[in-house]
């Protein structure tokens, strides 16, 4: 295999030797600690060849290793082959986490380098705490990958636009007033934000600097008394929008100007910021005299609770999205029945075209995952021109896709039976469905968190000796990032915060089961937490399912479903039929009617 990776690793090692560095960490991060990165900060992918969204590269004088989790094991094995970079599996028994590995491989007096614009202040503290006892020094003033990346992409220059108030529902002035009220409770005179979704939500602005995420590169500094300053490239705004922002108390300054603005703060100021969401290259410029209050960004909690008006838009978006998918899925089945050659890439094309025909569609919320048969066992699989499968009229096709609309963000996974299926495939799909139904039907007390509910979705799989290696649910933004906090539904993590699920929070529900080399199953709906009832024991909540698209009953084994589970699925399909039928006609309507028939 011809690959430039060994030469790049060699160049990095030469730079390490020049600067007296024993090891380099290259995280998957940018100055905003985003999950999905602009090309300029994809150094880990450039250096290793692995382009999954989660992973950490470590290079020492003798070793290069890529740490990632089970979602990416198969992909990483393929992409790292022949590069000299070893796959280091995260969260696997008897395998060291990357900081533990470094602590055992570096020696007293040696230096570790990590670019200061790619690690949070909290992350740096954790790193230093782990390594200090071994006498290892951490430097953040060296971006060694950047010194060897000759053709490194520049900053993106996409336009920044208004999210119209008809869709945003709450004026930016009201959001800022609410934020300032929270700042006062913290005793803060200023608040620094670097997280792009928080900034986009607060300002009612959207951009396209990050693929599939309608955000833009910026920092925001809000004064409790006075103005807010948005640090973003001026050329991205038209004059009318700058004037409107000024009228709402938001000034525009250069993207790089944030460090100078922080340096101007003095001993009379108290700065509120989230140490886990601000990189140390920024936090290091805060004068020592400034009082610091470290806490979660208040806006993160605010935007997680969708308003009734936002939820009304989301429900309509779900109808449109479901109608689009009904048309796309029918077309896939029709073309296969006609004997037309179809690949996973064609699935992506057909799904995108169907969504693009819907009103107020902006783009995909992530790159479509269309995995046929064994490819479905790769949770974050992505077909490419160089590597993809051709569909046949048999087996299972997993389609995980989503759309960005002015009125909301969608994320849905369906497994289609393209023809004859095996008993094992139907059993596995039904076990996952049982988990989906169990969590979708859950009622839980006020204060319950996602980690407390996670086992409901896994219990049917556990009973069969199965499990899956990813979380069961993530928060979803409102025409924002498809992955959003602070809530999540996942197994408990030692030391992890338990964020209560509250009415208005949208979460995915997506259990799965993956058998490498054979098939993968994932069923996914979005649901919103809603009030259910008040009893003598307190307030109880439930999930309202938002996603509207039939499951393929042909992929299931109905005999494995209990009466209550069958009733839930039939009721769901009746709801889907009532919601989507007015939007469809002809063959698409007939497809919907057939797939929504009772079990």
pLDDT in tens, 284-339: 999 999 999 999 999 999 999 999 999 999 999 999 999 999 999 999 999 999 99
Q: Look at the chain and report how many structural domains it folds into.
A: 3
Judge if 281 and 356 occupy the same domain: no
**Residue of 207, 162, 217 lying closest to 34 (CA atoms):** 217
Confidence tier at 545 by pLDDT (50, 70, 90): very high
- The model's pLDDT over 9-26, given as tens digits with 9 standing for 90+, comes to 999 999 999 999 999 999
| Tokens encoding 29 | 């991060």
Is position 412 within any domain? yes
Judge if 202 and 244 occupy the same domain: yes
Judge if 76 and 19 occupy the same domain: yes
| Tokens encoding 202 | 């607060």
Is position 54 within any domain? yes
**Residue of 260, 185, 255, 262 lying closest to 222 (CA atoms):** 262
Q: What is the mean pLDDT of the chain?
A: 95
pLDDT of 91 strictly over 80 = no
pLDDT of 92 strictly over 80 = no
Which pairing describes strands 270-273 and 190-193: parallel, antiparallel, or unpaired?
Answer: parallel
**Residue of 330, 355, 344, 324 lying closest to 397 (CA atoms):** 344
DSSP 212: T
Which pairing describes strands 205-206 and 228-231: parallel, antiparallel, or unpaired?
Answer: unpaired
Q: Say what the pTM is.
A: 0.94
Q: What are phi and psi of 505, to 5 degrees?
A: -75, 130
Residue ending a domain, among 101, 119, 148, is 148
Q: CB-based burial of residue 339 (10 Å sphere; 0-12 exposed, 13-18 middle, 19+ buried)?
A: exposed
Is position 156 within any domain? no
The pLDDT score that the predictor gives to residue 461 is 98
**Residue of 323, 331, 336, 365 lying closest to 349 (CA atoms):** 331
Judge if 478 and 378 occupy the same domain: yes
CA dihedral 113, 49, 467, 420 (to 10 degrees): 170
Residues 6+ apart with CB under 8 A from 50: 44, 57, 66, 68, 72, 75, 76, 79, 80, 85
Write out the residue range of the structural domain in which residue 103 sits: 5-148
Is position 480 within any domain? yes
Taking the C-alpha atoms of residue 278 and residue 138, their distance in angstroms, rounded to an integer, is 18
Is position 508 within any domain? yes
Instruction: CATH number of the domain at 346, please.
Output: 3.90.230.10
Instruction: CATH number of the domain at 70, please.
Output: 3.40.350.10
The pLDDT score that the predictor gives to residue 96 is 75
- Quote the percentage of the chain above a pLDDT of 70: 99
Judge if 184 and 58 occupy the same domain: no
pLDDT of 1 strictly over 60 = no
**Residue of 421, 429, 342, 354 lying closest to 383 (CA atoms):** 342
Taking the C-alpha atoms of residue 589 and residue 439, their distance in angstroms, rounded to an integer, is 30
Judge if 125 and 60 occupy the same domain: yes
Judge if 317 and 411 occupy the same domain: yes
Judge if 489 and 403 occupy the same domain: yes
Question: DSSP characters for 547-597?
Answer: ------GGGS-GGGS-HHHHHHHHHHHHHHHHHHGGG--HHHHHHHHHHTS
Judge if 109 and 128 occupy the same domain: yes
- The model's pLDDT over 441-466, given as tens digits with 9 standing for 90+, comes to 999 999 999 999 999 999 999 999 99
In 157-238, alpha helices (H): 165-168, 172-185, 196-203
The pLDDT score that the predictor gives to residue 93 is 67
pLDDT of 267 strictly over 60 = yes
**Residue of 109, 54, 4 lying closest to 470 (CA atoms):** 54
Is position 153 within any domain? no
Burial readout 187-199 (b: 16 or more C-beta within 10 A, e: otherwise): ebbbbbbbbbbbb
Is position 154 within any domain? no
3-state secondary structure of 104: helix
Is position 155 within any domain? no
Judge if 377 and 491 occupy the same domain: yes
Q: What are phi and psi of 416, to 5 degrees?
A: -100, 135
Residue ending a domain, among 124, 148, 172, is 148
Judge if 322 and 418 occupy the same domain: yes
Residues shown for the chain: 599
Question: DSSP characters for 340-407?
Answer: ---BHHHHHHHHHHHHHTSTTEEEESS--EEEEGGGGGSTT----SSS--B--SBSEEEEEE-EEETT
Taking the C-alpha atoms of residue 514 and residue 371, their distance in angstroms, rounded to an integer, is 12
Residue ending a domain, among 113, 148, 183, is 148
Confidence tier at 45 by pLDDT (50, 70, 90): very high
Describe the strand order of the beta sheet including 408-409 as a list of residue ranges: 361-364, 403-405, 408-409
Region 146-160: mean pLDDT is: 95
Judge if 217 and 75 occupy the same domain: no
265 conformational bin, left if phi > 0, alpha if psi -120 to 50, beta if neither: beta
- The model's pLDDT over 169-214, given as tens digits with 9 standing for 90+, comes to 999 999 999 999 999 999 999 999 999 999 999 999 999 999 999 9
Residues 6+ apart with CB under 8 A from 228: 176, 220, 221, 222, 249, 250, 251
- The model's pLDDT over 378-420, given as tens digits with 9 standing for 90+, comes to 888 888 888 899 999 999 999 999 999 999 999 999 999 999 9
Tell me the sheet residues that pair with 253.
231
| Tokens encoding 490 | 């996942």
Chain-centre distance for alpha carbon 449: 19
The pLDDT score that the predictor gives to residue 237 is 98
Q: CB-based burial of residue 412 (10 Å sphere; 0-12 exposed, 13-18 middle, 19+ buried)?
A: buried
Q: Peptide bond preceding 486: is omega within 30 degrees of 0, i.e. cis? A: yes
Region 142-156: mean pLDDT is: 95
**Residue of 105, 111, 109 lying closest to 135 (CA atoms):** 109
């Amino acid at each position: 295999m011809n690959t430039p990776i060994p030469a790049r690793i060699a160049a990095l090692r030469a730079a390490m030797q020049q600067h007296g560095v024993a090891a380099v960490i290259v995280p998957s991060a940018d100055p905003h600690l985003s999950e999905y990165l602009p090309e300029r900060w994809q150094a880990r992918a450039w250096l290793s060849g692995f382009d999954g969204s989660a992973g950490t590269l470590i290079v020492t004088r003798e070793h290069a290793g890529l740490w990632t989790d089970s979602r990416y094991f198969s992909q990483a094995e393929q992409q790292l082959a022949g590069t000299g970079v070893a796959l280091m599996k995260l969260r696997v028994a008897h395998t060291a986490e990357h900081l533990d590995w470094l602590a055992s491989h570096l020696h007293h007096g040696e230096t570790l380098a990590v670019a200061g614009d790619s690690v949070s202040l909290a992350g740096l503290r954790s790193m230093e705490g782990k390594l200090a006892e071994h006498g290892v020094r951490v430097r953040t003033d060296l971006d060694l990958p950047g010194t060897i990346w000759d053709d490194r992409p520049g900053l993106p220059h996409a336009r920044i636009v208004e999210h119209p108030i008809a869709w945003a529902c709450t004026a930016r002035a009201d959001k800022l007033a609410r934020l300032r009220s929270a700042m006062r409770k913290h005793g803060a005179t200023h608040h620094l934000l670097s997280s792009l979704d928080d900034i986009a939500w607060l300002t009612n602005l959207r951009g396209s600097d990050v693929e599939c995420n309608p955000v833009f590169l910026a920092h925001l500094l809000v004064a409790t008394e006075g103005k807010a300053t948005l640090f973003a490239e001026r050329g991205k705004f038209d004059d009318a929008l700058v004037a409107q922002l000024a009228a709402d108390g938001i000034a525009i300054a250069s993207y790089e100007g944030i460090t100078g603005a922080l340096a101007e703060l003095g001993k009379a100021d108290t700065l509120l910021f989230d140490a886990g969401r601000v990189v140390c290259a920024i936090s290091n410029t805060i004068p020592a005299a400034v009082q610091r209050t470290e806490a979660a960004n208040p806006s993160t909690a605010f935007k997680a609770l969708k308003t009734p008006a936002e939820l009304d838009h989301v429900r309509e978006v779900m109808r449109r999205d479901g109608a689009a998918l009904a048309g796309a899925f029918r077309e896939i089945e029709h073309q296969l029945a006609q004997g037309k050659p179809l690949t996973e890439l064609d699935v992506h094309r057909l799904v995108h075209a169907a969504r693009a025909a819907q009103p107020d569609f902006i783009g995909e919320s992530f790159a479509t995952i269309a995995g046929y048969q064994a490819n479905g066992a790769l949770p974050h699989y992505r077909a490419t021109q160089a590597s993809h499968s051709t569909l046949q009229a048999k087996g299972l096709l997993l389609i995980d896709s989503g759309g960005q609309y002015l009125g909301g963000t969608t994320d849905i996974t369906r497994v289609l039976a393209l023809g004859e299926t095996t008993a094992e495939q139907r059993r596995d799909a039904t076990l996952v469905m049982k988990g989906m139904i169990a969590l979708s039907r859950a009622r839980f007390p006020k204060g319950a968190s996602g980690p407390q509910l996670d086992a409901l979705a896994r219990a049917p799989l556990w009973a069969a000796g199965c499990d899956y290696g990813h979380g069961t649910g993530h928060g979803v933004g409102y025409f924002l990032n498809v992955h959003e906090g602070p809530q999540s539904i996942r197994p408990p993590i030692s030391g992890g915060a338990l964020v209560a699920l509250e009415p208005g929070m949208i979460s995915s529900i997506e259990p799965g089961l993956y058998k490498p080399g054979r098939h993968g199953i994932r069923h996914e709906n979005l649901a919103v937490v809603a009030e259910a009832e008040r009893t003598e024991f307190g307030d109880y909540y439930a999930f309202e399912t938002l996603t509207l698209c039939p499951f393929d009953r042909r992929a299931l084994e109905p005999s494995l479903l209990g009466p209550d589970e069958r009733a839930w699925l039939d009721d769901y399909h009746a709801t889907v039929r009532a919601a989507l039928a007015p939007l469809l006609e002809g063959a698409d309507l007939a497809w919907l009617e057939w797939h929504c028939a009772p079990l």
